[in-house]
């Protein structure tokens, strides 16, 4: 309301008022398999969107964030550091919001009933309602966009686009959440250690490599109640006790060692050793990032199984 009212003069949109540059965490979340869901449920797909909207908006608002846009099957949400709340707290609030959305969605009776419909299960056996999430930190232009006929608060920035790219890339790694390097760097060290570095990439629209991270959200237990995820506990308590990652410390250490050999930054560049460590991880847990990175190595390595001579230490993700 404040953003829009700032751009209104005598009840009309003023086109000569500039936007405001802010630093913020931009989050983009998207409902999975939305085309299939829409074709199957037709008008009842609105129940799915509004159920997810309620879960997302509530989690974000409870964690000092702002729901900004509803875009069909996607939502843009924003966390702005402000007086009395540090960037670290806001970064952790953003991740906490996403973890909460995943867990509350898994326990939502309405979503369970909709995903259990025979016509959905016939087309997508074993289907469950899910979302993908991207989070990135950077500058954005906070402004009102529109005309005298329609006006809305918005954020314009390549960093907003980057959050959407991250969400899209979750499918390439088989994870629910992708966290940018800029966001991960602001977590408390104890929370950083609960995340996994997935890769180093350039995303479409950027020439600068960045590390990508994820948080391994454990499935909600049958005895979980929504109140378990919504209680106002300190961030570290939430991530260590309420919603700890499914991956063990030992698993993450072995996985991170494999990634170090794959990228050649925290360990000697050695794709043979990286594959061996990824295989050890897979012997312990079924893990999509391990499989996807091994496949990339197999597809990219030279005839000796080592990186090609022009390997820059990162890869390009060119899909939107």
- pLDDT (mean) for 269-287: 96
Residue 320 confidence class, pLDDT cut points 50, 70, 90: low
- pLDDT (mean) for 239-250: 94
Long-range contacts of residues 233-237, Cβ cutoff 8 Å, at least 24 apart: 235/89, 235/92, 235/93, 235/96, 235/188, 235/191, 236/188, 236/190, 236/191
pLDDT digits (tens, 9 = 90+) for 7-33: 555 556 566 777 789 999 999 999 999
Q: At what angle do helices 87-107 and 45-62 cross, to 10 degrees?
A: 150
pLDDT digits (tens, 9 = 90+) for 82-119: 888 899 999 999 999 999 999 999 999 999 999 999 99
**Residue 289's pLDDT is what?**
97
Q: Residue 129 above 90 pLDDT?
A: yes
Point out the least confidently predicted range of 60-69, 89-98, 225-234.
225-234
- Least Cα distance to 257 among 269, 266, 270, 248 occurs for 266
pTM, to two decimals: 0.91
Distances (CA, A) of 291 to 164, 171, 176, 217, 255: 24, 13, 16, 18, 12
Encoded tokens for 66: 């702002």
**Residue 210's pLDDT is what?**
95
pLDDT digits (tens, 9 = 90+) for 186-217: 999 999 999 999 999 998 877 889 999 999 99
**Residue 225's pLDDT is what?**
72
């Amino acid at each position: 309301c404040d953003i829009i009212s700032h751009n209104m003069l005598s009840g009309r949109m003023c086109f000569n008022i500039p936007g405001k540059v802010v630093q913020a965490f931009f989050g983009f979340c998207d409902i999975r398999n939305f085309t299939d869901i829409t074709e199957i449920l037709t008008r009842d797909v609105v129940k799915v969107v509004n159920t997810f909207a309620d879960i997302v908006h509530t989690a974000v608002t409870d964690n000092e964030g702002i729901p900004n846009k509803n875009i069909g099957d996607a939502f843009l949400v924003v966390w702005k550091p402000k007086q009395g709340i540090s960037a670290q707290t806001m970064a952790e609030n953003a991740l906490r919001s996403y973890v909460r959305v995943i867990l509350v969605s898994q326990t939502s009776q309405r979503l369970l009933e909709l995903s259990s419909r025979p016509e959905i299960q016939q087309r997508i056996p074993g289907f469950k309602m899910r979302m993908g999430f991207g989070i990135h930190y950077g500058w954005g232009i906070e402004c009102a966009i529109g005309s005298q006929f329609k006006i809305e608060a918005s954020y314009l920035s390549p960093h907003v686009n980057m959050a959407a790219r991250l969400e899209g890339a979750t499918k390439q790694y088989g994870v629910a959440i992708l966290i940018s390097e800029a966001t991960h760097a602001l977590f408390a060290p104890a929370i950083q250690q609960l995340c996994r570095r997935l890769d180093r990439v350039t995303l479409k629209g950027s020439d600068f490599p960045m590390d990508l991270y994820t948080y391994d959200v454990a499935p909600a237990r049958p005895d979980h109640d929504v109140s378990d995820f919504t209680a106002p506990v300190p961030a570290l308590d939430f991530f260590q006790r309420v919603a700890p990652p499914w991956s063990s410390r030992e698993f993450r250490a072995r996985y991170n060692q494999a990634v170090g050999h794959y990228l050649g930054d925290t360990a000697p560049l050695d794709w043979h050793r990286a594959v061996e460590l990824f295989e050890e991880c897979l012997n312990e847990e079924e893990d999509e990032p391990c499989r996807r990175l091994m496949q990339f190595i197999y597809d990219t390595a030279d005839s000796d199984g080592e990186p090609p001579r022009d390997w820059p230490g990162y890869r390009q993700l060119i899909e939107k």
